[in-house]
Structure 1
Amino acid sequence: MRDVAIIGAGQAGLQLALGLQASGYGVTLVSDRTPEQLLAGRIMSTQALFHDACTTERQQGLNFWEAACPPIEGIALSVPHPELPGQKALAFSARLDRPAYSVDQRLKFAGWLREFQSRGGHVMLENADIQTAERLSSAHDLTLIAAGKGELGQLFERDVERSPYSAPQRHLALAYLKNVAPRPDHSAVSFNLIPGVGEVFLLPGLTVAENGGTQPYENVLIEAVPGGPLDVFAGVSGPQQHLALMKDLLRQFLPWEYGRVQHAELTDAQATLTGRVTPGVRRPVATLPSGREVLGLGDTLVLNDPLTGQGAGSAAKAAAIYLERILWHGDRPFDRAWMTGTFDEYWSYARFVTDWTNALLGPPPPHVLDVLGAAQTRPGVAHAFVNAFNHPPQFFPWLGDPQEAAQFVAQHSVAQSASA
């Protein structure tokens, strides 16, 4: 039996820890919070897992909340008209082939941490630092860092070629709401793109309830271009002012969404969050002062803006890839070559997520607008675009190439005609 240490108890760290534990590995997991503290704490993200990422949880039997969670059945994209207030310049929607799900990470991480402990897993409760990593690496065959903030994240060198941004491209404001009116037709991620101003997302999910159980809710995420008219949350004094500001912005910019949230309330006293993310990629292996090497995992190495809703799903896929490679490696040493190869396998997928997300942080080029325009009248194009959220490599090569974009539209138009 081999011993593995994982610093960080988020989506990637917990999922990998539980997978290794189930395969007979000795696992030490470092968490900075107990399950009770997680459940009582502030919301952490606007997570969504599309089908392929959900599959990684199902394969490990970790989809504890799926039956109770409202499904996300599609994606709807809208662009407000710049000259006609209250009207849309562009709009389309399509169903996902298989639903996505959004489970409040307070609920999921607390449940998974309890599961790990109930199976006999060793949990260290502390704010890990370099000394923690030194102690663990000296006593384990492999040490992974799945906590990207603080000095542990800084151990990993920034990959300049893969990191075009040195500052946050959006300022974020998030709230979890109850009593939100449902969308007509089917549930969806409502993706509202306001050129030059930012983006607003609404999506259903499952969160904690005051009685200790669960309840459905709606994520509302505002991604504000810094200094723009959505960037108004810096001086917010409390949760109710946060909610009032959100409602007022939706009333001004997206009245069709305001109609859904005008009577909404916060799910709990910890249901608001503001923040910002500097997107970037780090090199996968770090050397501790002792000379021992550790491997990064999840957003320690690949951190994208939440714009495309891929953060939790990418972490789940990273955990699945790392688990498979650790199991296949047997009793051979976890040397730098193996560590680099493991990350490279993950990067062969994650690079598409990074390129797609970084592209959307800038103004959409004409060929991308052409695809979105075609999606309004050609259901085949809308269906292909929406379902690429489940597998972002499908956005390429057309996302970056006008000729490929034209072929993409033509291909799906032909497919649509043939099916008709």
Structure 2
Amino acid sequence: MAKIIPFRAVRPTRAIVGLVASRSYQSYTIEEREARMEYNPYTFLHIVNPGYKYDQVITGEERYKLVKNRYLEFKEDHVFIQDDKPSFYVYKIVNRHHQTFNGIIAATSAEDYEKDIIKKHEDTIESREKTFKNYLKTVGFNAEPVLLTYPDNSTIASIIEETQKKHAEYEFTMTYKDTHYLWKVDDEAVIKTIQDEFKKMDTIYIADGHHRSASSYLLYQEEKANNPNHNGTESYNFFMSYLIPESDLVIHEFNRLVKDLNGLTKEEFLVKLDADFRIQNRGNTPYTPTKQHHFSMYLDGDFYSLYLRKNTYDFKTSLDALDAQILYKTILKPILGINDLRNDNRISYSHTHGSIEMVNIKGSVDSGEFKIGFGMCAVTIEQMKQIANDGLKMPPKSTYILPKLRSGITIYEF
């Protein structure tokens, strides 16, 4: 039984919301960040990069305190306002590829995370969880929702559709040509209907934001333990999420680039590869796999197709059937010697979709930066759910999921 609640969002005024909203801090290059901050005094980047004001790189607790100061200044200057009534927020994104995403921004339950009603499919790094937990505790707000997905629901879909017939609170387009729309839902009867529909759901799934949700859960545990009067209604019991139906979720593949052949010659590598794959050299014609367990490879000026020999590979679990796991277990670890997919600097990841991606892989290899590149099919929503249901975790960079959310459009305080 999934629990979601409305909240009083802190959000930009309508006139400047497009100037405030930003991508995640890490997605910008240093040059991009500085250019946006130089010419846009309203960007949310000024809040999360407070050292820019003093031309200083500031880290740790000192940075967290300055983040909170910048945030309070934005509120004092009426860049941000706070809604009077707890609300849900119907949110729509239309990206530059004309893909449309519709969902609801709400506060979701940390207890649901604990009980595995909110299911996970990726491992998290403990140090990152704790770092972001400390950040949240100091700054006192969530500014970017976790992306959750739920089974398609006709009642919720109807509410979203009816809400979108009204005048939007926000309608703005970002420089990446994504157009964003937001409607406030504060009618108590409609709120109850939405909540009742989510109560019928046994499970919802994290699509993107595993570290943010894990950190919010750690904060919940800490605050609960330190509050002798804890009753479960406190704001720290929840974290902000954007919930979209499964049919709206778009999953692309992450492909792999490796810097060397682990001391092998090309011929020695291909012989080892033949044990688990049927190999076809396709010359200079880019090959993009279209079926699960088929892979593309670019090496020494040639494209190859690799078809898994299923009689040599053991499918014991749902994770074993995942192409990213197959690539790891048959090539990356045993042949190329890459054991730690998160930290080995010999491997890199790329996510441009389709045939363009193979051209990009070719360019990266031909430049000499990498020796070999691999492409695969995208994970399906069914695979992602099954792996989460089985309590298993995908290898890092197994999915590139859309939509990508913006920071600073709605803010949840605790």
Normalised by the length of structure 1, the TM-score is 0.28
The higher radius of gyration belongs to 2
Higher relative contact order (CA 8 A, sep 6+): 2
